[in-house]
Chains A and B, each alone.
Chain A
Amino acid sequence: MSVLVDSDTRVVVQGITGGEGKFHAEQMMEYGTNVVAGAVPGKGGQEVAGVPVYDTVDEAAREEDADASVVFVPPAFAADAVFEALDAPLDLVVAITEGIPAQDMSKVYKRLGEVDTRLIGPNCPGIITPGESKLGILPGNIFESGDVGLVSRSGTLTYQVVDNLTSRGVGQTTAIGIGGDPIIGTDFTDALELFENDPDTKAVVMCGEIGGEDEEEAARFIAENMDTPVAGFIAGRTAPEGKRMGHAGAIVSGSGTGTAESKINALNDAGVPVGDTPNEVADHIEDFL
């Protein structure tokens, strides 16, 4: 039915006393997510959105038997919050925070290699298993339960593609927004592997963009390791060289790699059809099902 999260996932919200943390904790619970606690240093003993707040993630995890967290902590303290969740330890950490310094993430990334916890993000919309649980800020109402896995570097582009799928009756197993930063926890290859191993996922959408070489690497993984069909979309075909287009990763260096063209070619070579429009991606997925 899903990868990583389902209705049994017990969630701690780190930063639940902040505006964003409280609002989205409520939104998540309204969607059905099993939010069991908040964790905010110095705010232990309070109650927010009907759940108890603890001073530490460790205490929240022990007292409430939590296995996942969502991080809504400001950038200056976010890496520390992720370290805390990794050491609690939890199975899954979803970091929504945008603007975490790259050097902080580099240290987090090093630590990730030493623990069993999975990190999604940062700077991402989160993860959702429609009808069961969402950890993050994704608008729940556009998702529908079904057969298609989705992984994307961009939040709003995820929504767009999901809308194209749902509006024609194609539901999703799980959608994962991996985030647009240069250093992230779960990358395309990790997510594709999870979907490949999920018997309920019949096809996968992969939404990439210019910058970096993660899509090219994903293409190699698909060619070598996947039986589940994948359809792709790459944003930034018209982006000029040398300009940064919003996302930290979305810059074309001009050296030939990282361009939309090189990513589309790599995916096509791996047997992955790439839509010219989000709607065409949905067409390809329908053909697979």
Chain B
Amino acid sequence: MRLHEYQAKSVFADAGIPTPDATLASSVDEVVEAAEDIGYPVAVKAQVHVGGRGKAGGIKLAESREEAEQVADEIIGMDLKGYRVERVLVEEAVDFKNELYVGVTMDRGEGKPVAMVSAKGGVDIEQVAEEDPDAIAREHVDPAFGMHPYQARKAVYDAGVPREVASDVASILTTVYQLWDDRDASEVEINPVMITEDDEVVAADAVMNIDDDALFRQQDLAEMEEEAYEDDLERKAGEYGFDYVRLSGNVGIIGNGAGLVMTTLDLVDYYGGKPANFLDIGGGAKAERVANALDMVFSDENVDAVVFNIFGGITRGDEVAKGINDALGQFDEIPKRVVVRLAGTNAEEGREILNDDLVTVEETLEDAVQRAVEFSEEEAQ
């Protein structure tokens, strides 16, 4: 789960990290009112879950009331990489002489957290990592002990942070690690940390991603979640609790287990078709879940045929077959042709009860995928 900038900044502020004066606004009037309170210049920043907001026109400066009106009008309601901007953060534009980067994330290769500091802040840090990896100081942290203060100091000195602010930046890094640890974050990032003319340090942006698996013990953060979907299909997948990714093709794909579903996508491509989606119904699916999955895929108007690929382990083939029969039996006319392949636990029982009038049954994965691709080609003509 990703927090919005304004939410992450409130978590930061509570933890004692300095942040600029800011107010959330959702209309032009509210933006102007906030800007007048804060004093010009202000930055108006779209609150949507996309990277690269600035480049995409989602962050703009306003130096006067007229500019605030104009900028607010441009940003509120705009489409930013598929998301409509409903709210903006109106923020004091900090005068700075220098920008830094500070972040903590999980190094999956090492199995432990890594704290990072760079004197090259305010730019795309992934690009810095690629082009000038030495410009980022890294310090791995023992998860059992947490970050020692000397590690924060070491990272700050290694990164070449100006001496005047070194101790303040080390203190921010220590707090960022503490937040990462306490709040079950997968990532906490400040880019940039601004250094003002008076050598004050201020978190001018805030990224905080929380491990979805840990939300059960981060209830207050979980309540901040505001669902944002690119389209109605993704909204529906969220409601049904499916792992779903919409793609641009016309062969709908339903399966159990991420690896097998990805393999089914790859085979559709291999046999000359185009996958319309990734949909994993997960382990142990019951009839209702199967019906929901079909509903999802039928709702995508690009889909011309569907392949259902189940390899039962914890999932039972007869339960899946019952779900397919029930779901399809409700239609007077089934909207798309469905190919089903059942294997594994109770697959034979499943194949026996599957209604052949409603679906095409294939024995092997390869046959099922090829048949679905054929159907999709016929349908598309």
Contacts and interface: CB of A to CB of B under 8 A. Distances in A.
Contacts of A98: 283
Given A100-B213, A110-B143, A139 B259 contact: no
B314 interface: yes
Interface stretch (B90-98, B104-112, B349-357, B372-380): B104-112
B258 A210 contact: no
Interface in A182-240: 182-183, 207, 209-210, 212-213, 233, 235-240
B181 interface: yes
Given A154-B260, A160-B263, A238-B265, A107 B313 contact: no
Given A102-B211, A125-B313, A255-B126, A209 B259 contact: yes
B137 to A, nearest CB: 20
A246 interface: yes
B211 A107 contact: no
Contacts of A278: 263, 365
Contacts, number: 161
B262 A250 contact: yes
Most buried by A among B111, B261, B270, B312: B111
Interface string B172-210: 000000000100101000000000000000000000000
Contact of B108 (A155, A210, A249): A249
A278 to B, nearest CB: 7
A273 to B, nearest CB: 16
B217 interface: yes
A54 interface: no
Interface string B238-275: 00000101010000000111111111011111100001
A181 to B, nearest CB: 9
A157 B314 contact: no
B220 interface: no
A106 to B, nearest CB: 4
A246 B112 CA distance: 22
A211 B329 CA distance: 39
B284 to A, nearest CB: 8
A156 B255 contact: yes
A31 interface: no
Contacts of A156: 255-257, 259-260, 311, 313
B142 interface: yes
Interface string B298-312: 000000000000011
A163 B143 CA distance: 41
Most buried by B among A152, A153, A209, A235: A235
Main secondary structure of the interface of B (DSSP, over half): mixed
A101 B366 contact: no
Interface in B321-354: 343-345
Contacts of A243: 245, 278
Interface residues of A, number: 58
B125 to A, nearest CB: 12
B366 A159 contact: no
B58 interface: no
A139 B256 CA distance: 14
Contacts of A158: 259
Nearest to B217: A76
Contacts of A247: 258-259
A163 B363 CA distance: 12
B342 to A, nearest CB: 12
B270 A277 contact: yes
Contacts of A142: 343-344
A138 interface: yes
A182 B106 contact: yes
A137 B313 contact: yes
A152 B365 CA distance: 18
A76 B113 CA distance: 20
A160 B345 contact: no
B214 interface: yes
Contacts of B314: 137
A160 B143 contact: no
B275 A207 contact: no
Contacts of A155: 257, 259, 283, 313
Shortest 4 CB-CB contacts between residues of A and residues of B: A154-B259, A246-B258, A156-B257, A157-B259
Given A209-B262, A239-B262, 18 more contacts: A103-B181, A106-B143, A109-B112, A110-B142, A110-B143, A154-B258, A154-B260, A157-B260, A159-B313, A160-B343, A160-B365, A182-B108, A183-B111, A237-B266, A246-B258, A246-B278, A250-B258, A279-B364
Interface of A: 75-76, 98-107, 109-111, 125, 137-139, 142, 152-160, 163, 180, 182-183, 207, 209-210, 212-213, 233, 235-240, 243-247, 249-250, 255, 260, 276-279
12 contacts: A101-B184, A106-B113, A137-B313, A155-B259, A157-B257, A157-B259, A236-B262, A238-B247, A244-B243, A246-B278, A278-B263, A278-B365
